[in-house]
A and B are shown apart, each in its own frame.
Chain A
Amino acid sequence: MIVANTFFTRVVRTSPTVMIALLVVPVLGGLLGVLLPAFGWFPALGATEFGLFGFTELFATPGIERMLLLSYSTSLVSTLLAFLITILILASYFNSPWLKRIQRLLGPILVIPHAAAAIAIGFLIAPSGFLSRLFSPWLSGWETPPDWLFPHDPYGLSIILGLALKELPFLLLIALGVLAQPEIGKVLKQQHKVASSLGYCPMTGFFKVILPSLYGYMRLPILAVLAYSSASVEIPLILGPNTPPTLAVAIMQWFSDVDLSLRIKASSGAIVQILVTLSLLLTWWGIELLVKKCSASWLTNGAREHGGMIIKRFTDVITFIMVSTIALALLGMVFWSFAGFWSYPNLLPDQFMTMHWQSALTQMQTPLFNTLLIAFSSTLLAIVLTLLALESEQQSNKTISAVSGLIIYLPLLIPSIAFLFGLVWMFEQVNSQHTYLNVVFTHLLFVLPYVFLSLANSYRRLDPRFSSVAASLGASPSKIFWQLKLPLLISPILIASALGLAISFSQYLPTLLAGAGRINTITTEAVTLANGASRRTSAVYALMQMLLPALFFILAWLTPKIFSRARV
């Protein structure tokens, strides 16, 4: 398509470059800011000679093997678990109304920040938690809380539970999103029907016909989940062991240790963290190859039935356990936020009161304002950049190259703990004193990829004939963009905005570091309070953390409906 050379088209044409630069420069700069100290260059401490002593020190840390193993195993097992359950749910409820219901039940979990989820799960599984109270003392005989394993168990089982519960809805939604695309979903559903008509039981049909095609579309999100969980901080910090902790948590503690020389060791740790993440991605790839090889003959052996009913029952049980775990965790948190003293083993608090909400709400104004200001700024930027970049794709008539496509994922694939500390150092170098801008800019790194992923499909799927007809009627590219495409895409744009807001709301480490600790948001307050203080106040903050994104998702979902109804 030949495009006029107007101001609008020029802006559109440069936008992909701007977007890529905004993602690449901070990440690579941040990595550089960690690489230099990792190899011994840290002038502020008088260390100006390159060497490997940071790594020597790192590997001399007591329990370093355990830290590495813990990081590796918790993220691998939790991702595998989340993936398997996703597949089981899809297979068992494919073409059943239950799929929509489960999606609706789990969907909200997606927007719960990791810190809030960890707090809720901690409330559930602690010795004095909701679960133990449910069975005490009538069944267990416990009059005082038992001294049991969870949370903080040395094997990281609590971390795995927390991560898997958080990852599962994400993977499920990704899979459903793929199936919702007409050109893929329709074909797959037809193939499934053909398989059924050939006598395959629905479960087997799913595994043999749909999964192999579906998996290709899910691979990149799965890898992002794997990478994220290997280096996440909130869940291991709140639910994990500390003798020793996971590598990411240890790195964060070394970076903020009083003993400033630990910075070098922390930087070396960040480099090793990247290697851990890489090796996880390789492991996943290896498992993929193995499964492909082993299942090749099975896929084509023509067997119609592989214990479908048993798997279905099993999935029912798993789904029930999962949904009730989430429900109980949420219920427990709501109770705590209204509880007076709550002595063990009473199932309900001794008194109910609104005091904790009242006092928290009066103290919440500034953090709430900061949270909203930062989220709206970064989301607006992300939406504008994404729309322009996608428009440029259509004007130049080719999709973003594979390299750029991967770069969009960069901040999701590279452990944030590895580049954020370097990024703060970079802000220092350019002497950026505008903490708000620094935070918005850092949030953009995480908001932009999600907004792009969420919008790209709808934008690319928009029927090109609309634009062709409009252009042939003499409409300029900018008119087509503003008056045709945007109104048609209002619904996905609003959903992408809500997602962007939710991602920004949930950021802990980026806010803390880029904001120099000066900028308090609901999330930074919640994590600060979760590590101590009262269960009641942290329950209020965690619930606030959940309510905010939920509110905006509901708004995003309702607004187009109200408008379209008004038009009718």
Chain B
Amino acid sequence: MQVVNKICQHSFAGFYKALCYLLLLLLPQQALFASESQSNTAAMWENIEMRGTQQSVYFHAWGGDQQINNYIQWVAKQVKQQYDIDLHHVKLTDTSEAVSRVLAEKSASNHRNGQVDLVWINGANFASMAKHKLLALDWAGKLPNFALTNPENNPAMTRDFGVPTEGMEAPWGQAALTFYYDSLKVEQPPQTLAELLSWTKQHPGRFTYPKPPEFLGMSFLKYALIILNEDQPDNIKNKLYQAATAESEAQILPALWAFLDELHPNLWRQGHHFVSNGLALRRLSGDGELQVSFTFSAAEIPSAIARYDLPDSTRSYRMLDGSLSNIHFVAIPYNSPHLDSAKLVANFLLSPEAQAKKQQTSVWGDSSVLDLSQLTPTQLAYFDTTEKKHLSANIINVDNTRLLSELHPSWSAVITTQWLARYGVQ
């Protein structure tokens, strides 16, 4: 049934329509088959639950944020209670460390006893692991809680930066590019990319972005790239969502370089030095060196204010011309010795309880990936919280701006190489 729906939705050509009808004729058998396979899935899951208990799971996840680390500790407590699983958070400074590790294991023919059981991943790291066949295949769709994301109507849940996930990773959360500023120092923050450029000219040295290939810096460049190519014809714009070619690079990138050439002289340190990550941006904002800055996890702003890392007068907003948004996932390496336990953890991460907890501003504030229409009233109750929020937790423009999708991952490498060639040596 689900298969039929999906094909109908995505097909335009008459041939496929005909095929859909044909399939509809077969529906009774299909439905029968589906229910049988459902009970199969349930039995399979029971097996996984049986095999997966009482083991250790090494969860490799970026560890630079205390709030996220605390949330993972909470998850560890829960899975310990439910499945007697010992979840160890391996704190990475960069997710690529885990990618290199699994690759090193593969090169040493360690195909069964890998050190990584679960990894927090998306985008280029995922594309790289998938390309080198470093991930366990076809498991995410079989997690009981995966259905709650309503993947049929929510294609983003099965695509990572445009690349089909093919069951190699389960969605965990989603984020959108959010800007912030000190409302005591900046009266009118720039609300579009063009305004940002003119604002930096009036306030030189008070804005910067992390050096690519860092994730957040790359996201800023992608946001700029999308906006700058807005007026191009559709057939050219769409190339942003396909693998980059020499031709599409020549059509799309010049606008970005022209923009950056104009922007850089008025960046912090005149664009001679770029910070290494988004947290450094936050620190410089706290120091007053930067006045407008941005992040992918909007919830870090109120919590940074609570820890005195940002001034109390900080406010957050989304750009009016669009906000880059993406989903982040968890994946299991092909050589994890605790495959079943890792699946149990991934399923718990997708549970309404865990997702609701994660969404609370005081916990992490990362948006849930669940489709609330799929939840039962008891499950929905988890999401009812009456938190007292700091003013900065109310993101300005959140309802009147659109979300921009991530580009095809091949663009990251292209942008990085050319950026480094142009601005990497100064």
Interface residues in chain A, defined as those with a beta carbon under 8 Å from any beta carbon in chain B: 42-45, 62-63, 66, 126-128, 144-145, 147, 152, 154, 241-244, 255-260, 263, 339-344, 351, 353, 355-356, 359, 363, 424-425, 428-429, 431, 433, 435, 516-518, 520, 525, 527-529, 531-537
Contacts and interface: CB of A to CB of B under 8 A. Distances in A.
B91 A256 contact: no
Residue of A44, A66, A256, A532 most packed against chain B (CB within 10 A): A532
Given A517-B60, A517-B91, A531-B93, A260 B423 contact: no
A256 B64 contact: no
Interface string B196-228: 000000001100000101000000000000000
A35 B413 CA distance: 27
Contact of B276 (A126, A145, A242, A257): A242
B104 A424 contact: yes
A528 B64 contact: yes
Interface string B38-50: 0000000000000
Nearest to A428: B108
19 contacts: A63-B425, A128-B289, A147-B205, A243-B423, A257-B96, A258-B96, A260-B99, A260-B100, A342-B308, A344-B287, A363-B66, A428-B110, A517-B60, A527-B93, A528-B91, A531-B64, A532-B64, A533-B66, A534-B307
B404 interface: no
Nearest to B204: A147
Interface in B218-269: 268-269
Interface string B410-426: 00010000001101111
Contacts of B125: 258
- How many chain B residues sit at the interface, stated as a range, is 35 or more
B107 A42 contact: yes
A145 B287 contact: yes
Pick the most buried of A42, A63, A424, A516: most chain B CB atoms within 10 A of its CB: A516
B101 A517 contact: yes
Given A242-B211, A343-B288, A424-B104, 7 more contacts: A127-B287, A128-B288, A258-B125, A263-B100, A425-B104, A517-B92, A531-B279
Contact of A145 (B100, B115, B288): B288
B64 A425 contact: no
Contacts of B93: 527-528, 531
A333 to B, nearest CB: 14
B372 interface: no
Contact of A255 (B100, B205, B309, B426): B100
Nearest to B58: A518
A528 B97 CA distance: 13
The 10 lowest CB-CB distance pairs between A and B, nearest first, are A532-B279, A44-B107, A63-B425, A147-B205, A128-B287, A428-B108, A534-B309, A344-B288, A341-B308, A152-B273
Contact of A518 (B90, B96, B106, B213): B90
B15 to A, nearest CB: 40
A197 B100 CA distance: 67
Nearest to B289: A145
A534 B99 CA distance: 27
Given A517-B60, A533-B283, A243 B426 contact: yes
B190 interface: no
B289 A256 contact: no
Nearest to A148: B269
A86 to B, nearest CB: 31
Contacts of A126: 287, 289
B378 to A, nearest CB: 33
Contacts, number: 163
B212 to A, nearest CB: 11
B203 to A, nearest CB: 10
Q: Which of B58, B304, B424 has the most CB of A within 10 A?
A: B424
Contact of A340 (B108, B124, B308): B308
Which of A242, A355, A520, A525 gathers most chain B CB within 10 Å? Answer: A242
B420 A62 contact: yes
B104 A44 contact: yes
B141 interface: no
A393 to B, nearest CB: 39
A530 B299 CA distance: 21
Contacts of A243: 211, 272-274, 423-426
Nearest to A516: B115
Nearest to B309: A534
A518 B86 CA distance: 14
Contacts of B162: none
A339 to B, nearest CB: 7
B124 A144 contact: no
Most B-side CB within 10 Å, residue of A127, A128, A533: A533
B205 A536 contact: no
B108 A431 contact: yes
Contacts of B420: 62
B287 A147 contact: no
Interface majority SS (helix, strand, loop, mixed), chain A: loop
Contacts of A259: 128, 413
B110 A532 contact: no
A138 B106 CA distance: 61
B113 interface: yes
Contacts of A429: 108
B34 interface: no
A428 B413 CA distance: 29
B105 interface: yes
Nearest to B63: A528
Contact of A154 (B65, B185, B272): B272
Contacts of A525: 91
A343 to B, nearest CB: 7
A525 B66 CA distance: 11
B277 A532 contact: yes
A154 B115 contact: no
B6 interface: no
Contact of A533 (B60, B64, B92, B205): B64
B269 A533 contact: no
A528 B68 CA distance: 14
Contacts of B311: 341, 343
A516 B117 CA distance: 13
Contacts of A537: 66
B104 A428 contact: yes
A256 B63 contact: no
Interface string B56-71: 0010100111100100
A242 B274 contact: yes
A344 B274 CA distance: 22
Contact of B88 (A344, A353, A518, A527): A518
Given A62-B421, A517-B97, A528-B64, A260 B132 contact: yes
B139 to A, nearest CB: 23
A535 B287 CA distance: 10
Interface string B77-113: 0000000000010111110111111011111101001
A243 B269 CA distance: 12
A141 B185 CA distance: 17
A527 B97 CA distance: 15
B321 interface: no
A433 B113 contact: yes
B280 interface: yes
Nearest to B279: A532
A126 B424 CA distance: 22
A351 B94 CA distance: 34
A260 B128 contact: yes
Given A126-B287, A260-B100, A344-B288, A425 B90 contact: no
Contact of B288 (A66, A144, A241): A144
Contact of A258 (B99, B276, B309, B424): B99
B144 interface: no
A531 B110 contact: no
Contact of B65 (A145, A351, A518, A533): A533
A463 B80 CA distance: 61
Contacts of B128: 258-260
B206 to A, nearest CB: 8
A531 B91 contact: no
A344 B284 CA distance: 11
